[in-house]
A and B are shown apart, each in its own frame.
Chain A
């Protein structure tokens, strides 16, 4: 419990109160629900609250941190968040590879309800998006925020509340799916009480961010912070609107959404696509805009482009959700709007990708030699590729071929594996040695291995899904000369077998790389030289030259 040593005694008191509060909250949930998913989740909160309370109470009289801590960056939460990022990476990607294997080999499904495909799939999606991506965003945002503001986080307790609270949400979500609890909205499956809890955590996060920014010692706000703020603010808005629901009663997990019919579908995909935009894009662009120049030692190629792309992305993205509902009951005019804004969105997206790649001008030798920087370069390239593909797939006639096929799955993964995960790994390999007070990772060669596993895995995955999706789309719409379908549905499923096998292999390679990364980080953290206090370092006295 080294983390507790970074808190002063009054802060430990506050943390203790919060922990007891969490245990009480869990107890109330369990008592009201008595049985079922909500009761189990209540007991999980009780266990977590009690564990934290005992740890805090036991460490109450440990020595306090030195008084000059306020002149230092607060890095302990970042380090904790990176640990959680890696744990969720292994869980989320592991489940992903498992369900990919089940699609190839459905007979392998074990007989229990909680191991069925339908329950495991959201564990994969939530695990990687929220568990892996979310923790990575929170952890790096704390780092970037402090460095680019030259200010310490505004207080020491709320970062812990945010990280622990967010992970409790992830845990509730994932364990709920396994028990069959879902509100059946993609990427928003968690039930109402978990959603409310996330709102509390998220508001705390926003307040901490704003308070820290307000204390900055720099005249301007760096563009990465704009992206992180857009991520926090818009995700809050999306999450609240999409999840408004009436619980069946206060003691059950089940609820009814207030939205219905085509409005529900539209709200859901407004949420769904902007989760892609603001969770999986804006936040990670913030990460890119910080770690790419830091690692390459190059100035951002164009200040103007970075600002204008930011506003372009924010403005265009919010309109495009309806491209998920082409050729449905959604009115045609909404589809046209979604399609045209998706096409215009390509411009700021490519401007960002281009800005990132142009930033590397003058550092190509580093890209060649440094796998960490190469991760970021590949991320920018895949960002460009997948945004192009996204705009292309949003065009209605193209969509009539691609929709409901595995092409969509391939598109998502070129974004999430190629762009999101790559930039996270680049950031992690930059941060972890720094947080451990070392020059390099413990196993520098393993980064190279990881890089090639990740790139190879992504390519195999994406290419096989392109083939699968286009094959599927063409088979579904093929008629013979007599006007009868040329293929039965089961024939189109059988045709997928080789691609599903390849996808499993590609995903397995990617997972192997992630495990390697997790082990490498563990070794690096463990091997940290015994600096007096490696987790906190001084605010840089002068802007570094």
Chain B
């Protein structure tokens, strides 16, 4: 089969242009002249590019590159912008590095400016575990209910933040609930019922489980489970819970033990940011209490 020749050009009635004479299975093309506007568009975009190449870093040049007349460097620009933003914060933020929290809290103008920023800082760094408003979740303590493991004054909170709990910091707070898997299943079950009942005072301190509680648990949780011994062991008679104080959750706590990790923030947040957050977190429960009234 020999190659077909081009057809003679014909005039397209709609546009008035000739066809090229090519024909592919019925597809033809018009011999339209190259549109001017496309050439202009090419020229304009090319001029734009040349200007950009002259002004900005644009081409490799040996081991170096052309720097551009503006002499811009994206690293310097980024640092500069960061500095500028930081300068705005210098007016108020560094004051929170000062540990006199009472004085800071008394400065109403300062607090009015700082607390909204603190809320965002909390949401960006803490909300993943503690919830956006500090209302906790299974395994992560509520920060807005007025019940504390270590204490709710800004100084104590700042220390918790700085060093963390069961964290990698050398000065971390340690809070370990040991495993009681050496107890028999029956003993554990009795203990779990006892602990679950402590919430509403149904438990009998003279029962076998009650006696065992004093022997095994009181050293950390207090004689009557009231906590507050500053070793991170929670009170077992208030309504605040971390993992759950129903029978099944306590069974798990007793079998596995618990050691929740609160990361250390020293080095990740500045001392001023830690102070800011400490004031904010200590204020969460106060705000909640005011809401309740």
Contact of A340 among B22, B52, B114 (CB under 8 A): B52
Residues of chain B touching chain A, judged by Cβ–Cβ distance below 8 Å, are 1-7, 12-15, 19-20, 22-35, 38, 41-42, 45-46, 48-49, 52-53, 56-60, 65-66, 68, 72-74, 78, 85-89, 91-93, 113-114, 116-117, 119-124, 127, 132
- Please determine whether B32 and A482 come into contact, CB atoms closer than 8 angstroms: no
A331 close to B30 (CB less than 8 A): no
What's the nearest-Cβ distance from chain B to residue A416, in Å?
A: 25
Q: Is the CB of B42 within 8 A of A362?
A: no
Partner of B49, one of A331, A343, A482: A343
Residue of B nearest to A150 (CB): B25
By beta carbon, the residue of chain B nearest A340 is B49
Q: Which residues of A contact B58 (CB under 8 A)?
A: 333, 336-337, 340
Contact present for A217 and B45 (CB under 8 Å): no
Take A301-B15, A362-B14, A480-B117 as given contacts and tell me if A331 and B85 are in contact as well, using a CB distance cutoff of 8 Å. Answer: no
Contact A332 B56 (CB under 8 A): yes
Q: Among B7, B68, B124, point to the contact of A488 (Cβ < 8 A).
A: B124
Q: Are A303 and B56 in contact (CB under 8 A)?
A: no
Q: Which of A122-130, A218-226, A245-253 contacts B (4 or more CB under 8 A)?
A: A218-226
Is A466 interfacial (CB 8 A cutoff)?
A: no
Please measure, in the bound complex, the distance between the C-alpha atom of A219 and the C-alpha atom of B14, giving whole angstroms: 27
Asked whether any CB of chain B lies closer than 8 Å to the CB of A368, the reply is no
A148 touching B25 in the complex, CB below 8 Å, given contacts A339-B52, A343-B49, A344-B46: yes
Distance between A221 CB and nearest chain B CB, rounded to angstroms = 9
Q: Which residues of chain A from 80 to 99 have a CB within 8 Å of any chain B CB? A: none
Closest B residue, CB atoms, query A298: B14
Contact of A487 among B1, B4, B52, B120 (CB under 8 A): B120
Bound CA span A354–B36, Å: 13
CA distance A46 to B49 in the complex (A): 54
Contact in complex: B27, A148 (CB < 8 Å): yes
Whether B72 contacts A220 by the Cβ 8 Å rule is: no
Query: Bound state CA distance, A143 and B30, in angstroms?
Result: 23
Contacts of A306 in B (CB 8 A): 29
Whether B123 contacts A491 by the Cβ 8 Å rule is yes
List, in ascending order, chain A residues with CB within 8 A of B59's CB: 333, 337
Can you list 10 A-B pairs, Cβ within 8 angstroms, ordered by A?
A150-B4, A218-B3, A299-B19, A302-B30, A304-B31, A327-B74, A336-B57, A341-B49, A484-B120, A543-B26
Q: Contact between B29 and A219 (Cβ–Cβ < 8 Å)?
A: no
Asked if A482 meets B113 with Cβ closer than 8 Å, knowing A147-B25, A219-B6, A490-B127, the reply is: yes
Chain A residues whose C-beta falls within 8 Å of the C-beta of B114 in the assembled complex: 482
A220 contacts which chain B residues (CB < 8 A)?
6, 22
- Is the Cβ of B30 less than 8 Å from the Cβ of A294? no
Contact across chains for B30 and A300 when beta carbons are under 8 A apart = yes
One of B1, B30, B53 near A299 (C-beta < 8 A): B30
List the B residue with the shortest CB-CB distance to A482: B113
Which residues does chain A contribute within 8 Å of B57, judged by CB atoms?
Answer: 331-333, 336
Cβ-based interface call for A443 (8 A): no
Q: What A residues does B46 contact at CB under 8 A? A: 344
Q: With contacts A299-B30, A305-B34, A346-B45 known, is A222 near B24, CB below 8 A?
A: yes
Determine the chain A residues whose CB is within 8 A of the CB of B30 once the complex forms.
299-303
Q: Which residue of B lies closest to A363 (CB)?
A: B14
Which of A294, A303, A344, A483 interacts with B32 by CB under 8 Å? A303
Chain B contacts for A14, CB-based, 8 A = none
Q: How far is the CA of A344 from the CA of B26 in the complex (A)?
A: 34
Q: Specify which chain A residues have a CB less than 8 angstroms from the CB of B68 in the assembled complex.
A: 336
Given A333-B59, A340-B49, do A483 and B116 touch, yes or no (CB 8 Å)? no
Q: Cβ of A61 < 8 Å from any Cβ of B?
A: no
A 203-229 contacts with B by CB, 8 A? 216-220, 222
A483 to chain B: which residues have CB within 8 Å?
A: 85-89, 93
Specify which chain A residues have a CB less than 8 angstroms from the CB of B20 in the assembled complex.
303
Contact in complex: A543, B7 (CB < 8 Å): yes
Q: Smallest Cβ distance from A431 to chain B, in angstroms?
A: 13
| Shortest Cβ distance from B84 into A: residue | A483
Q: Of B29, B45, B117, which contacts A303 at CB under 8 A?
A: B29
Q: Which residues of A contact B74 (CB under 8 A)?
A: 327, 332, 335
Q: Which residues of A contact B26 (CB under 8 A)?
A: 294, 543-545
By the criterion CB–CB under 8 Å, are A299 and B12 in contact?
A: yes
Among A219, A362, A489, point to the contact of B5 (Cβ < 8 A): A219
Q: Which 6 A-B pairs have the closest CB atoms?
A: A483-B88, A362-B14, A488-B123, A484-B117, A340-B49, A303-B29
A350 at the interface (CB under 8 A from B): yes
Task: Give CA–CA (A351, B37) in the complex, Å.
Answer: 10
Q: Is the CB of B3 within 8 A of A299?
A: no
CB distance from A75 to the nearest CB of B (A): 14
| A293: nearest chain-B partner, CB-CB | B27
CB neighbours (8 Å) of B92 from chain A are 482
Most chain A beta-carbon neighbours within 10 Å: one of B23, B66, B78: B23
Q: Which residue of chain A is the closest to B66 with respect to CB atoms?
A: A333
In the complex, chain B residues whose CB is within 8 Å of the CB of A337: 58-59
Contact with B along A483-516 (1 / 0, CB 8 A): 1111111110000000000000000000000000
When chains A and B are docked, how far (Å) is the Cα of A290 from the Cα of B24?
9
CA distance A485 to B2 in the complex (A): 74
A-side contacts of B116, CB under 8 Å: 480, 484
CB < 8 Å: which of A218, A294, A347 contacts B4? A218
A35 within 8 A of B: no
Q: By the criterion CB–CB under 8 Å, are A543 and B23 in contact? A: yes
Q: CB distance A304 to B32 under 8 Å?
A: yes
A219 and B89 contacting across the interface, CB-CB below 8 Å: no
Is there an interface contact between B34 and A344, defined as CB atoms closer than 8 Å?
no
CA distance A482 to B115 in the complex (A): 11
Given A340-B49, A344-B49, also A299-B28 (CB < 8 A) = yes
Contact A333 B65 (CB under 8 A): yes
B2 to chain A, nearest CB (A): 8
A361 interface residue, CB < 8 Å from B?
yes
Which residues of B are found within 8 Å of A491, using beta-carbon distances?
120, 123
Q: A340 touching B32 by the CB < 8 A rule?
A: no
Interface residues of A in 511-545 (CB under 8 A from B): 540, 543-545
In the complex, A328→B26 CA distance in Å? 51
Contact B33 A217 (CB under 8 A): no
In the bound complex, residues from chain B placing their C-beta under 8 Å from that of A362 are 12-15
Decide if A482 touches B42 in the complex (CB within 8 Å): no
Contact A543 B4 (CB under 8 A): yes
A268-305 Cβ-contact flags toward B at 8 Å (1 or 0) = 00000000000000000000001001100011111111
- How far in angstroms is the closest Cβ of chain B from A293? 5
Q: Is A258 an interface residue (CB 8 A)?
A: no
Residues of B within 8 A of A484 (CB): 89, 93, 116-117, 120-121
Looking at the assembled complex, report how far the CB atom of A69 sits from the nearest CB atom of chain B, in whole angstroms.
15
Other CB < 8 Å A-B pairs besides A298-B14, A362-B13, A362-B15, 4 of them? A308-B38, A333-B60, A479-B85, A488-B122
